[in-house]
Structure 1
Amino acid sequence: MHEQILDLLRSGETDAALQQARVAASATPDDAGAQRMLALALQQAGDDAAARAAIERAIELAPDDPEAHFDLAALLFAERRQDAAQAALGRSIALDPNQFDAYLIQAQLALGRGDLDEAERQRKLAARVDDEHPHLAAIDGMLALRRGDGERAQVILATALQRTPDDPQLLYALGFAYLQLGHLAFAEQAFRKVIERVPAAVNLHALVADLLRQQGRPADAAEAMAPLLADPAKATPGLARLAGELELEANRPQAAIAHLRQALAGKPDDPRVLRAALEAWRRLGDADDARATLDAALATTRESRDLWQARLALEAPGSAGAGEVIERWLSAMPVSVEAHELRMADRILRNDVAGANETAAKILELEPGRYSAELRLFQDLLERDPAAAVARCESLLPQAQDTQSRARIEAWLALAHDRAGQPVQAVSLWQSLHAAQSGQRIAPWTASAARENWPEPGTIDAQSPRTTLLWGAPGSGVERVAGLLAGMLPALRSDRFGPRPPKDPFQRFAAIGELQDGTLAPEQLVSRWREALGERGLPDGQIIDWLPYWDNLLLLALRPHLPSTQLLVVLRDPRDMLLDWLAFGAPLPLALTSATEAARWMSSVLAQVADLHDADLHPHHLLRVDESLDDGIALARQLGEALPANLPIPPKEIGPARFPTGHWRDYRDALADAFALLAPVAVRLGYPAD
């Protein structure tokens, strides 16, 4: 609806835009975005006072949202008379269409609705009346800001301030220019000067506090909030929440919970308030106070999903307390699918299979086809009666609503065929599922040719930080190893598999060819890797770096320039790895067109591991997890010896069980050609030929 309102404003249909904005603001009174749209519509309708009230309401709801403050700035700039601006950043003036003020206000209205060309046109009309007026610079600066040119905005506004150094409107705009450029300290100072000159601009205190927080000064930020919190009319739940978060960042949980109680009183179902309050109670070790406070809130706000979730978070999963909270939740919200799902999970933790299945059936009554319930009933059949699991999946396939749902059911069906002793059918389904997705996946890298000549190892510096490179081919279970280490060692980095991976050659398959043809020098690979460590939160260089690929050509860089780095290769019988890749996929979504082609590629990649091991080309450890992948305690023991490191004892169960070791033998006929390709490298790596 927000976009529809903006479209109406741009086309000049102010009355229709205002009507829609009022409906949106009334339907979602706690939505800061809806209040912003209402402010823009009111401003264009000429009701500046109501527009100011709406945008200030938006800031109350989202006090640390720079966009809301930016909109308030645009509105205040429209109230351009200096005497009024000094008192309250201006009030609306009586408009005369033939005066400078009229053009200036029209330019601000156009800025507010995002019509930059119209704003520039109105600015030119204003300049015909008074081309020396400093507030033209405010328009120019804001135009530059809206177009993403913060540097030009800064120059324009700073120059104008040399002529009128105390002008709050110019200071306001300059603060946003600094903010866009990331100059947080300068932005803070600009907004502080506005507050000094216009004490009534109290909403800026929250923006200054957020800038201080971003500079790593949460205690100062909390103090900056004090003027707002001291005024009951301004101390909204949003401000109290922000103050509580700041106190938490300053590690003052007692002060934080005082503010967060106030926020909870006004908005007991605000998920951000609840998260902060739970953290404050955790640090204080006061679970009793947390239970009492949230129970009191639930007495008046019984149908809040977020509030019930927060209350449940105070109980140990599977405990009597957790079960009691879930039942209270269901009593208050009997048709809540989420609450029923939590009851189902609770029953599973208590080994109440019948109760879990009964709850799953209830979920499917409330929402036919719900994934969690269908999965629960499928898993139960898979354990008790694989043939019945096959039949159930086949009955669900015609009901699939879309391609994704059908693929999920076919994956279940393949597992049911596996459990029912039908490998041919399982392989057929797995291959078709991979083939259907191959176009959206990454083509595997091509392994380099074996070589005999390697650079001499560099001198090992005993004082250099410990570095481990972790890698495993698809199906090795490397993701489980990385997940276990992530909870034990802060040096583990899995960011190469996330949305913001480091931009170094270890991230690019193309680096293999670049090393081979000389377009990437070995020392460049290492220097670029080191340069990225600071951005990854590892300035001292100590890291366990989970790599997306491995090729022995990387040794051209590692041997001379990182001689002490250890490569940790996670390994299983290659035939079990291929089967695992077919059935469960891999953390790196590589295209798998057929089992035979996948085996051919895997053989070439693992042959490099065998070469590395046979010739001891670099410090490395083959972490054989055939017997330990489903056993957290055994896996941690292996990792402790390999790294070496003194690791804590994890839970024995660390994830869903994979196929047992040697399961590939059940597929020796269905995957005969693929396994024949893998047999030689399996033997080289120490596994039996059959």
Structure 2
Amino acid sequence: MYEPILDALRRGAAAEALSAARAAVAANPQDATAHRLLATAHRMDGDRDAALAAVDAALALTPDDASLHVERAGLLLGGRQLDDAQAALAQAVGLDPNQFPAYVIQGQLALARGDLAEADRVAKLAGRIAPEHPQVAAIEGMVTLRRGDADRALAILSHAAQQAPDDATVRNALGFAYIAKGHFAFAEQTFRKQLETQPEAAALRGLVVDLVRRQGRYAEAADEAATLLEGNPSPGMQRIVGELELQAGRTERALPALKAAFAAMPRDRRTLEALLEAWRRTNDAEDARTTLDAALAAHPLEDALWRARLVAEPFAGEGALAVVERWMEAQPDSIPALQARATIHDAAGETERADEIAYEIVALQPGHSQAELRIIDVLLRTQPDAAVARVRDLIERSQDPEARRMLKQLLGRCLDVAGDFAAAAASWAEVHADVADQRLPLPPLTAAIGELPPLQPLPENAPGVLLLWGPPGSLVERIGITFDLPGSQLRTDRYSMRPPADPLQRYGTAQELLDGRLDGQFLVNQWRAALPAREVHDGQIFDWLVTWDNALLHALRPHLPEAMLLLAVRDPRDMLLSWLAFGSPQRFAFESPTVAARWLAAALVQIADLHEHDWFPHRLLKLDDLVDDPAAMAAAVGAALDTTAPAPATLGPVQFAPGHWRTYAAPLAEAFALLTPVAVRLGYPEN
């Protein structure tokens, strides 16, 4: 009696299957199998609710049928009724502990909830029933991937895919493993296979679009996204298409999609930024004005729209001033509007009017950082004592520890201008003591380096290697700024969140070389092996080191003789003062100026020894008169390296003038006494 139903189901004839199943149920309402087949026919017809009702009717007749509970869970999952599905699966497992599909679905549900421990537990239970089943491997692989082991996850899922190449669950998991490893082409191929069986899956197609984009095939990604737009003309999809068209360089095609998205989502920052870029490329300021004015008429309180409207006017011209006047008329107390007005005054040379606006801003928002800094800068020029009082008041009112530390650093500079040098030094010392437990310890320095191996001859055709170092306060970072250009070989990654994993990054390397625990050839090999990960493929590198120790010469003299060492110094007393007042890229910890001076003196003694004995090819660059002059800095560094470098626009905040340390001779007497001998060795006056 079931054959007509089964035959129709095999052929995909949903209407025939429904008719035959309804007839079977009508003929025998107590037949659970007939109700179950009716549920299957409804599901094929796309009527999930009717299918669920038919399964419930079958369960009413055979409540202990575990497989029916699994089927019911599948229908509930399709309707995103996750809790009910979980309950149905639990009931199935309770009735039949060997109900393998129930464990698989439970594992997938646990993954969806982010409960990795539960997914792992359920996968182990399923593995006892079918240890080699690819769907068990799919869960294990996804758990492993979520726990951060992409390599092992990829191995598990690749093996499962070989066993079951057409299993959608396995293929889906494998695709995400490829993404985690950055194998976007393989991931794209995997998800495209998935699309062959799920052509209507918009989310899956969107994932493929993103994978194409991540491979740099922007035009192809835009074309594929356009097909998604046909079925989903939502503002979000229009924005995505517009962004992809921009990345593909097809601005004229991007504009209609972005303007449609903007019309529906005028408050969406991402859409607005993309649209501004499209207008910039087409140089269509008139279209920008018209579109943004229409949006502002409906949303006059949206600061982002006003800022965008300013972009459509010549900087600080009459048109920009008129826009700001309209903005302030719509929002008299808008701080961004006041800031824009101050910018226009500054551009026109009306500094005093811009300064007055800073006071207006802090009246509206006490403690506003940019306005307060401007006011303090004004007071430093006219009333230094008032600047000190204002910063102290801000410190008292601040509740944020990081903000308080920054203000104490600023207080020191205000006290310096006011002439209270002892209080300035104390304020800076307090800041460094406060953060000592949050910073790197001072690197250990070797006391003696023993007999150095011979310096080997320069190898033929060796790639250029430049090693840069300067102690804290030397302002070596300004050499870095000078060479931080597109295409430059300078690598600043030792100061990043992901530094290279080579021996030159480790504390203790110098002592290990002296003790014989580390071989010099091995050190250089490890350094070279890390270069490709630093995007250095030809061996040429300008490597900015975190620290230096002359013991490293035990490795460099015999195994890297082609290197050149560029060492930056200033008067050691000025270096210590700068380290205290302005900090350094190394962010080393010290509890007091004396502790810092003792370490700095030892580091500089090593530089003096290397320079006096010429132990390694090097250039000693004194930066005292260069640190605030970009052109002079570029010229001096270029001369030292026999090259040329364009002068950067700026080198950073203005530093103390050379010799400013003398004003701190009394409060920092103990620290300066430690530095004076090496200062004299480096050619600086004793007093």
Q: What TM-score comes out, normalization by structure 1 length?
A: 0.77
Give the equivalent residue in structure 1 for 2:526.
Answer: 528
Give the equivalent residue in structure 1 for 2:640.
Answer: 642
Could you tell me how far 1:576 is from its partner in structure 2?
0.9
Give the equivalent residue in structure 2 for 1:503.
Answer: 501
Is the Cα contact below 8 Å between 2:633 and 2:647 reproduced in 1? no
Give the equivalent residue in structure 2 for 1:206.
Answer: 206
- Post-superposition Cα deviations, 1:47-88, rounded to whole Å, max 9, x if no partner, equal 999xxxxxxxxxxxxxxxxxxxxxxxxxx997579xx99xxx
CA distance in 2 between counterparts of 1:162 and 1:252 reads 41
Could you tell me how far 1:183 is from its partner in structure 2?
4.0
Give the equivalent residue in structure 1 for 2:175.
Answer: 175
Could you tell me how far 1:178 is from its partner in structure 2?
3.7
Give the equivalent residue in structure 2 for 1:352.
Answer: 350
Where structure 1 has 5 or more consecutive residues not aligned to the other structure, the ranges are 1-46, 50-75, 86-91
Give the equivalent residue in structure 2 for 1:593.
Answer: 591
Secondary structure of 2:514 counterpart: helix
Residues 453-472 of structure 1 correspond to what in structure 2 (within 5 A)? 453-461=451-459, 463-472=461-470
Residues 557-576 of structure 1 correspond to what in structure 2 (within 5 A)? 557-576=555-574
Could you tell me how far 1:381 is from its partner in structure 2?
0.9
| Deviates most, 667-676 or 313-322 | 313-322
Residues 192-341 of structure 1 correspond to what in structure 2 (within 5 A)? 192-229=192-229, 231=230, 233-257=231-255, 259-281=257-279, 294=292, 296-312=294-310, 326-341=324-339
Where structure 2 has 5 or more consecutive residues not aligned to the other structure, the ranges are 1-46, 50-70, 80-84
Could you tell me how far 1:589 is from its partner in structure 2?
1.2
CA distance in 2 between counterparts of 1:654 and 1:147 reads 43
Give the equivalent residue in structure 1 for 2:681.
Answer: 684
Could you tell me how far 1:437 is from its partner in structure 2?
2.0
Residues 563/106 of structure 1: CA separation in 2 closer, same or farther (3 Å cut): closer
- Post-superposition Cα deviations, 1:29-57, rounded to whole Å, max 9, x if no partner, equal xxxxxxxxxxxxxxxxxx999xxxxxxxx
Matched AA of 2:426: S
**Match among 369, 372, 386 for residue 370 of structure 2:** 372
- Post-superposition Cα deviations, 1:622-646, rounded to whole Å, max 9, x if no partner, equal 2222112111122122222223333
Is the Cα contact below 8 Å between 1:111 and 1:143 reproduced in 2? yes
Residues 556/243 of structure 1: CA separation in 2 closer, same or farther (3 Å cut): farther
Give the equivalent residue in structure 1 for 2:407.
Answer: 409
Give the equivalent residue in structure 2 for 1:185.
Answer: 185
Secondary structure of 1:553 counterpart: helix
Identity %: 48
Could you tell me how far 1:433 is from its partner in structure 2?
2.2
Give the equivalent residue in structure 2 for 1:609.
Answer: 607
Corresponding pairs, count: 605
- Post-superposition Cα deviations, 1:542-569, rounded to whole Å, max 9, x if no partner, equal 2222211111122222222222322222
Secondary structure of 2:534 counterpart: coil
CA distance in 1 between counterparts of 2:337 and 2:495 reads 32
Secondary structure of 1:621 counterpart: strand
| Deviates most, 339-348 or 556-565 | 339-348
Give the equivalent residue in structure 1 for 2:29.
Answer: none
CA distance in 2 between counterparts of 1:155 and 1:543 reads 35
**Match among 558, 572, 577 for residue 575 of structure 2:** 577
| Deviates most, 454-463 or 436-445 | 454-463
Residues 136/603 of structure 1: CA separation in 2 closer, same or farther (3 Å cut): closer
Give the equivalent residue in structure 2 for 1:656.
Answer: 653
Give the equivalent residue in structure 1 for 2:20.
Answer: none
Residues 275/187 of structure 1: CA separation in 2 closer, same or farther (3 Å cut): same
Residues 688/156 of structure 1: CA separation in 2 closer, same or farther (3 Å cut): closer
Residues 61-80 of structure 1 correspond to what in structure 2 (within 5 A)? 79=74
Give the equivalent residue in structure 2 for 1:431.
Answer: 429
CA distance in 2 between counterparts of 1:366 and 1:528 reads 57
CA distance in 2 between counterparts of 1:517 and 1:314 reads 66
CA distance in 1 between counterparts of 2:284 and 2:129 reads 66
- Post-superposition Cα deviations, 1:199-243, rounded to whole Å, max 9, x if no partner, equal 2113211111222233343344334324213x1x41433333433
Pair 1:483-2:481 in alignment: yes
Residues 404/641 of structure 1: CA separation in 2 closer, same or farther (3 Å cut): same
CA distance in 2 between counterparts of 1:383 and 1:421 reads 13
Is the Cα contact below 8 Å between 2:444 and 2:508 reproduced in 1? no
CA distance in 1 between counterparts of 2:48 and 2:119 reads 18
CA distance in 2 between counterparts of 1:440 and 1:473 reads 20
Secondary structure of 1:566 counterpart: strand
Max Rg structure: 2
CA distance in 1 between counterparts of 2:127 and 2:534 reads 49
Is the Cα contact below 8 Å between 2:468 and 2:543 reproduced in 1? yes
CA distance in 2 between counterparts of 1:298 and 1:48 reads 46
Residues 282/528 of structure 1: CA separation in 2 closer, same or farther (3 Å cut): farther
CA distance in 2 between counterparts of 1:532 and 1:547 reads 14
CA distance in 1 between counterparts of 2:528 and 2:314 reads 42
CA distance in 2 between counterparts of 1:527 and 1:257 reads 52
- Post-superposition Cα deviations, 1:247-273, rounded to whole Å, max 9, x if no partner, equal 444454454455444443443443334
Residues 134/566 of structure 1: CA separation in 2 closer, same or farther (3 Å cut): closer
CA distance in 1 between counterparts of 2:461 and 2:314 reads 44
CA distance in 2 between counterparts of 1:348 and 1:282 reads 24
Could you tell me how far 1:382 is from its partner in structure 2?
0.9
Give the equivalent residue in structure 2 for 1:674.
Answer: 671
